[in-house]
Chains A and B, each alone.
Chain A
Amino acid sequence: MKFLDYIWLIPLFPLFGAAVMLFLGRFFDPQPASDVAVALGVEDIHDEHDHGHGHSHPHEHDSDQHHHSHTHDKAHARVTGHEHSPHEHSRGMRGLVSLLCPGMVLLSFIFSAGAVAELSNLPQRLHEIRQFTWLAGLPFHTADGRLATFAADWGFLLDPLSAVMILVVTGIGFLIHVYSVGYMAHDNGYYRFFGYLNLFVFFMLMLVLANNYALLFVGWEGVGLCSYLLIGFYLHKKSAADAGKKAFVVNRVGDAGFILGMLLMFSVLGTVRFVDVNQLLRSGQFHAETAAWGVLSTMALLLFIGATGKSAQIPLYVWLPDAMEGPTPVSALIHAATMVTAGVYMVARSSALYQLTPHTSTIVAAVGAFTAILAATIALVQNDIKRVLAYSTVSQLGYMFLALGVGAYWVAVFHLFTHAFFKALLFLGSGSVIHALGGEQDMRHMGAVKNKIPVTHWSMLVASIAIAGIPGLAGFFSKDEILWQAYSSPQGSNVLWAVGLVTAGLTAFYMFRLMNLTFYGKSRVPPEVEAHIHESPLTMTLPLSILAVGSVLAGWIRVPKVWPLPEDFQLLERWLQPAFDSAAAEAVHEGAHNADVEWILMAISVAVALIGISIARYFYHNRPEIPDSLEARLKPLHGVLLNKWYVDETYDFLFVNGFAKGGGRLFGAFDRNIVDGGVNGAGWITRLSSNISIWWDTWIVDGAVRLSSLLVKISSYPVRIVQTGRVQAYALFVVVGALAFFGYYMIRR
């Protein structure tokens, strides 16, 4: 029981790596004294370049701009990296970074593997560690008037579900770290990149190991932060910063739903600890809300809104394609294999809740199916190799939600598992192509490079076959099981199955469009680039090869039930059973298991995949003029697809410019003119009344005073005339007065 008691260490290894990098990284890998000059230089080139290419494809100016600026920034960064290299001499220290960060993830992987091995020996296959009370809130009233405590542990839960997740995160995470050593070798900010990447692994492990929703939310927001940091890794690119911000804010919209879902859960159940929540929900105290929409359905829906943000589902998928601004290993790790599956994990983790809420489950399935097909249609026409893969990821995540929605939780996890291999491989492979072509991402400038980068080509071919759903490779097993569940599950339907099937055909088509445009046919690579095409270093090709092996084998842990193979090939389903407590549901379902139908459906889906591959081969290899003429003939449709159904524009109009900026401007004006106007108005009125008072005071009140003084003054005037102060005059007055009195006296006599 050694490893099991140390599962709390699993996330801390990468946290340590991140802390060392972010605090001390500068000493290991000194940056150019100032890359400002570089930044300014880049800007010039950037402008020039936008003009050059902007004109040739005016209708997709936006995406082109993003992409070309990326291309050249990266190319330029490399060049300047060489030119400025004051850190050339410190390569040894850089080696320390390359050793420490992947090493920490490897350590996590070892501890994870050990813990999972020990877990499989536990009878109940559940191990929980509660270290301390993290959120130690106060009492509150639940919806039914009980007194509960608002609290959440700092605790970890290892069960079959989180076991699968930590193995994917640490295993694939380690491979991508190794790959990054080669891919990022010439970039500035090497330590910063690995610091962020390790920080991401920390948060991702927190997310999947947390023993309650609130702590899960810590990882949930944390991976969002790392995604933000890594998308915007190329600091000088505005498009990257925009994309990072968009990702964070769109995710925040989902998070708002998640927060409300958690609060409702507190209110109804009084706890957010997984074990307690599941126990309460399965206790029979709550009934499935089959008849009417109830509080549990709301709770499930709010949590699902959170999942649509993180896992890029309608309506919140728009951030993921833009997230491709980040370096390619980031796209592989965060935006394909791990973080974007967090929503799938969370819904699967809440299976007890979703089992009680068929209405919400239907919404989940519908959203998943619709997202799958919508994203697949967009992927058909994209020219940026990473964008094709991005939409493919959105589409595949849609599959997973489809599975969750029809109650096949373990199947969703199965697809999450296989998808992690082949999609990580596809992204890393595309990174290797981009690396070989000096930063080129536009498939229209590729072609016929398969012999120059053979390892990349072969591994990507394996991954493409895997995702297309050809039997024997990983994608087939999981995708076919989803289609079968969509068809046969009590919550499934023919429509869901048909949408899934069409999506499978589209998937096969766009993947082989990508393969043909990139590797086969005629070369469209500019000659000056062509001369320098080279296979990537071993640090990059080795992970590719390992993932290619995984893309073949990962599916064999659960082959279709109708295949005549021993029980051991059902490993995954039996492993995950305790996590979903699905045995009972499965038993009911099993009765309806019709082997003939399953064989037929399987054949149909394989046929559809083959058709998709063939059409792609025919269009983009044999007759490359066909797509062009089709494009010309179906101009409006092509335009709509190329512009991603104008969803971004609509959101920009409604929410960004409408609600946020418009509201901000409106309220800003309101604040200045009305609210503050009121205050200043009060001031003005005060001043006005003060002025009136002054006038009144000066002219009326003081006027009366001064008037009286004036009257006194006037009345005193005659007296003042004789008050001269001259003694002679006074003497004269005395004489005159005396004479007057005397005269008067004389006369009266």
Chain B
Amino acid sequence: MDQHLLSIVVFTPLAGFVILLLIPGSQKGLIKLWANLTAFAGFLVSLPLVTRFDRQAGGFQMVERADWIPTLGAKYLIGIDGISLLLVMLTTVIGFLAILSSWNAIEDRVKEYYAMFLIMQTAMIGVFVSLDFFLFYVFWELVLVPMYFIIGVWGGPRKLYAAIKFFLYTLAGSVLMLLGILTLYFRYHTQFGTYTFEIADLMKIDMPLGMQQWVFWAFFLGFAIKVPMFPFHTWLPDAHVEAPTAGSVILASVLLKMGTYGFIRFSLPLVPKASVDIKIVQILAVLSIIGIIYGALVSLMQQDWKKLVAYSSVSHLGFCTLGIFALNPNGIAGSVIQQINHGISTGMLFLIIGVVYERRHTREIAEYGGLAHVMPKYAVVFAIAMLSSAGLPLLNGFVGEFTILQGAFERSWVWAAFAVMGVILGAAYLLWLYQRTMLGQITNARNLHLPDLTPREFAVFVPLIIWAIWIGVYPKPYFEILEKPVQQLVERIRPDYYQGAVKAQAGVRGRPLSSSQADGDRARAITVHAGAAQ
């Protein structure tokens, strides 16, 4: 039992799904109850992962290995390190809350709806624990299907457009990623004479920089569309706007993290030379920074509540990718923490929209205003979510943002100087949204008698608020969980980082503002070093 803990976590939702199929579709109450119980069980079984996880140990833990398709070299190989642990926990928590939030929202095709969510839950956890590229790809693609149906069946007026766009756009990226995977696969065969999809094996491949760059860009398309990075983000607002609330929550909180996770787990360690290549790093940084500022500015002028939050995701995810490509411990650790934070705060923001959408069936910001008068509890919850998203200290967002900014600053003060504008604009669009929806007079008579949060709705928010405060006040455990995996990752891409080398700067205390230049040199030096090592 113990050695299969991780498999249990992965397949509990799927087992629940199988039993769900046996319940007649007319038993709506029973279906809801069962789906919620399964999701909650999925969360409970994931708790031992945290307690059994050894923060001091490096490498992957709770590894399970079995042959799957021996002729291809594909294995059932799963395991977690600190990075995947946090994302798995995010998935089990958010997955449960998303299902819980659907109780009254969905009355149509209830059985199919919950079935989709349970399948997706397994697929998402699978993505974060797979250590075999083939297995990973299966889970990665499997996620698309239920989400396609969730948007396409239970979505808003333009659901078909949004669902198809989501599916095709991300699929196009995935297929290119598959080419990258196959390149590594055959390259490994050329070098070692066997076929394997195992990540640890593929890391042994010796590849020239030029080829690494091709593979990097192939991966990049797959992951950047998923994140989404500017300019591959336009599927996101449509998908969010049309998706039902729980779909949006899962989409924002978990699905997008598959992209950033991909960069951390695959791009960086598998093609390290390309990942530290100065041109690639600069392009990625510029795209991230554009994403941060552009997403925030576009968000500012949205008339649609959900679209506003969707664009704010582009801005926040820009921080995450910027942190990753700062290629230093704080950048990467901050990025992972910010991914969790974004899951919490944006998840809350989408749930908040869902609450009023259920009551009014509109997402036009202009339709609201003054809601704080009739929904005081709701106003408080929204305020906390907003502040968490805006990065107020003692709430989660600040810890992630500040750590990422430190990583970015270490790389180049210019990056940090631009990224910090996202912090200003973040406050602007969120406060303005809050003012337009919650403050002032009630100008629309239809809002006069909106009921406040019900206990069930409130219960969905409580864990997220507690989590947000926990990360904000005591983030130490998160950094401890991330310390080892991040160190291993950084040592893989910049082998001499932890020796604190770089004496080139000894005499420049007077002018480290030129450090971006020096950093470039440093990165180049590392590239050379890595090349020499092979």
Please give, as numbers and ranges, the residues of chain B lying within 8 Å of A242 by CB-CB distance.
435
Which B residues from 473 to 507 make CB contacts under 8 A with A?
473-476, 479-480, 482-483, 486-487, 497-506
CB distance from A404 to the nearest CB of B (A): 24
Please give, as numbers and ranges, the residues of chain B lying within 8 Å of A147 by CB-CB distance.
498-500
Knowing A252-B427, A253-B424, say if A145 contacts B373 (CB, 8 Å): no
CB distance from A3 to the nearest CB of B (A): 25
Cβ contact of B300, chosen from A35, A39, A218, A664, cutoff 8 A: A664
Complex interface bits, A107-142 against B, C-beta within 8 A gives 1, otherwise 0: 000000000000000000000000011111111110
CB distance from A425 to the nearest CB of B (A): 31
- A140, A244, A668, most chain B CB atoms within 10 A: A140
Knowing A36-B374, A678-B231, say if A141 contacts B500 (CB, 8 Å): yes
Q: Is A34 an interface residue (CB 8 A)?
A: yes
Q: Bound state CA distance, A266 and B431, in angstroms?
A: 30
Contact assessment for A39 and B442 in the assembled complex, using a CB-CB cutoff below 8 Å: yes
Cβ contact of B420, chosen from A228, A256, A675, cutoff 8 A: A256
Q: Does more than half of chain B's interface fall in helix, strand or loop, or is it mixed?
A: helix
Q: Is A150 an interface residue (CB 8 A)?
A: yes
Q: Is B249 an interface residue (CB 8 A)?
A: no
Cβ contact of A221, chosen from B393, B405, B425, B442, cutoff 8 A: B393
- A137, A214, A249, A665, most chain B CB atoms within 10 A: A137
Q: Bound state CA distance, A667 and B503, in angstroms?
A: 43
Q: Bound state CA distance, A681 and B68, in angstroms?
A: 41
Number of interface residues of A (CB under 8 A): 72
Contact assessment for A136 and B476 in the assembled complex, using a CB-CB cutoff below 8 Å: yes
Q: Is B282 an interface residue (CB 8 A)?
A: no
Contact assessment for B370 and A144 in the assembled complex, using a CB-CB cutoff below 8 Å: no
Q: Bound state CA distance, A146 and B501, in angstroms?
A: 7
Q: Is A562 an interface residue (CB 8 A)?
A: no
Contact assessment for B439 and A235 in the assembled complex, using a CB-CB cutoff below 8 Å: yes
Cβ contact of A145, chosen from B475, B482, B501, B510, cutoff 8 A: B501
Please give, as numbers and ranges, the residues of chain B lying within 8 Å of A135 by CB-CB distance.
399, 402-403, 475
Q: Is A737 an interface residue (CB 8 A)?
A: no
Contact assessment for A248 and B479 in the assembled complex, using a CB-CB cutoff below 8 Å: no
Please give, as numbers and ranges, the residues of chain B lying within 8 Å of A22 by CB-CB distance.
380
Cβ contact of A36, chosen from B298, B330, B448, cutoff 8 A: B448
Number of interface residues of B (CB under 8 A): 84
Which A residues from 655 to 679 make CB contacts under 8 A with B?
660-661, 663-665, 667-668, 671, 675-676, 678-679
Cβ contact of B330, chosen from A137, A221, A660, cutoff 8 A: A137
Contact assessment for A140 and B393 in the assembled complex, using a CB-CB cutoff below 8 Å: no
In the complex formed, the residue of B with least CB distance to A663 is: B297
CB distance from B276 to the nearest CB of A (A): 15
Contact assessment for B510 and A295 in the assembled complex, using a CB-CB cutoff below 8 Å: yes
Which A residues from 276 to 319 make CB contacts under 8 A with B?
286, 292, 294-295, 298
Contact assessment for B298 and A668 in the assembled complex, using a CB-CB cutoff below 8 Å: yes
Contact assessment for A267 and B511 in the assembled complex, using a CB-CB cutoff below 8 Å: no
Please give, as numbers and ranges, the residues of chain A lying within 8 Å of B424 by CB-CB distance.
249, 252-253, 255-256
Please give, as numbers and ranges, the residues of chain A lying within 8 Å of B428 by CB-CB distance.
245, 249, 252, 660
Q: Bound state CA distance, A667 and B231, in angstroms?
A: 12
Contact assessment for B409 and A264 in the assembled complex, using a CB-CB cutoff below 8 Å: yes
Q: Bound state CA distance, A244 and B431, in angstroms?
A: 9
Q: Which residues in A have some Cβ–Cβ distance to B below 8 Å?
A: 22, 31, 34-36, 39-40, 42-43, 132-141, 143-147, 150, 214, 217-218, 221-222, 225, 228, 232, 235-238, 241-242, 244-245, 248-249, 252-253, 255-256, 259-260, 263-264, 266-268, 286, 292, 294-295, 298, 660-661, 663-665, 667-668, 671, 675-676, 678-679, 683
> What are 30 contact pairs spanning A and B, CB under 8 A?
A36-B370, A36-B442, A39-B442, A40-B441, A40-B442, A134-B475, A135-B402, A136-B475, A137-B329, A137-B334, A138-B329, A140-B328, A217-B393, A221-B393, A222-B392, A222-B393, A225-B392, A235-B373, A236-B440, A238-B441, A245-B435, A252-B423, A252-B428, A256-B424, A263-B409, A266-B409, A663-B300, A664-B301, A665-B301, A675-B233
Q: Which residues in B have some Cβ–Cβ distance to A below 8 Å?
A: 165, 168-169, 230-231, 233-235, 294, 297-302, 328-330, 333-334, 370, 372-374, 376, 380, 387, 392-394, 398-399, 402-403, 405-407, 409-410, 413, 416-417, 420-421, 423-425, 427-428, 431-432, 435, 439-442, 448, 473-476, 479-480, 482-483, 486-487, 497-506, 508-513, 515
